[in-house]
Amino acid sequence: MFERLAAGITEFIVLSIVFGSAAFLLHGWKSLIPDERQKRNWRVNGSYFAFDLMVTAPLLLIVSVEIRTAIEEGGRSTGASLFDSMPRWAVAIAAVMVSDFIGYWRHRLMHLAPLWPVHAAHHSDEDLTWFTLVRFHPINRLISVCLDAVILSVLGMPVWAVIFSNRVRHYYGYMIHSDLNWRFGPLKYLFVSPFLHRWHHATDEAARGTNFATVFSLYDVMFGTFYCPKHRAKDLGVNGPDYPTCFIGQLWYPFDHWGRLVFAPLIRGRRREHL
């Protein structure tokens, strides 16, 4: 427990120094003086970070291990022999590419109406920074871990390759959420850049349903969701005034939303019966 907390805090400090220095070089002293909105967003991100570190992450680790164990003991892995015969460097590359392919479609799934109330938490940060990556609702994290664990285990992906892929996509995710204006030139059609991913978080109608990949923008190109105008995305966040801005409100929002969908028709039906 304490080792995990220490590792999480250490990672936060290192990332703060790295991306804080980059922001200072790009934006000067104003990057060190946040306005009220930025302070609020950082408080919410910090709440997600602490909750994930102490509650969500330990539970999801248990879930992922149990899923993999059940699949392996059930003899449902299909590609173990294939990966055993490949060089480790090839397995590592394959793990990142397969994981990002899964992540692309999982991300598109989270943008569908039934699951959007969960994923909206991640998009609610109007000041996209590296710290936005920690802002994920626990249900969003649960869906991600379960889908990834099931598919990668069925494919027979080695545990070390799964861990390697998770680390690569994790730290790459921090980079693409950072307030950097990197575009990657012609490589933007292969790799996701901060400039490209910023458009995924834009409220602009033209950007809706675009740029779902984390590492390989090639998937967006292949499946018609690539969107990269020449100008930088400005307005970020969630459209609509009813989405809560506080941590507790965002945790409760999906349950409130789904409850209204289920019980509102029942309440209207009972009202009609009494008319």
Other residues' Cβ atoms within 10 Å of the Cβ of residue 136: 19
Contacts of 177 (CB under 8 A, 6+ apart): 128, 129, 130, 131, 132, 133, 194, 197
Residue 269 has what pLDDT? Answer: 56
Residue 70 has what pLDDT? Answer: 83
Residue 77: pLDDT over 70: no
The whole-chain average pLDDT of the chain stands at 88
The model's pTM: 0.89
Task: Render pLDDT for 119-171 as a digit per residue (tens, 0 to 9).
Answer: 999 999 999 999 999 999 999 999 999 999 888 888 888 889 989 999 999 99
Q: Using alpha carbons, select from 10, 222, 231, 265 the residue that is nearest to residue 97.
A: 222
**What is the average pLDDT across 86-110?**
95
Residue 272 has what pLDDT? Answer: 57
**What is the average pLDDT across 209-237?**
96
Return the H-helix or E-strand segment holding 186. none
Can you tell me the distance from the alpha carbon of 96 to that of 161, in angstroms, rounded to the nearest whole number? 8
Q: Coil, helix or strand for 129?
A: coil
Can you tell me the distance from the alpha carbon of 264 to that of 171, in angstroms, rounded to the nearest whole number? 42
Other residues' Cβ atoms within 10 Å of the Cβ of residue 127: 18
Identify the residue with better confidence: 3 or 139. 139
Can you tell me the distance from the alpha carbon of 118 to that of 141, in angstroms, rounded to the nearest whole number? 10
Q: Using alpha carbons, select from 38, 51, 36, 210 the residue that is nearest to residue 125.
A: 38
Task: Render pLDDT for 15-51 as a digit per residue (tens, 0 to 9).
Answer: 888 888 887 887 777 767 778 888 899 999 999 999 9
> How many CA within 13 A on the CB side of residue 18?
14
For residue 256 the two structure tokens come to: 């409130």
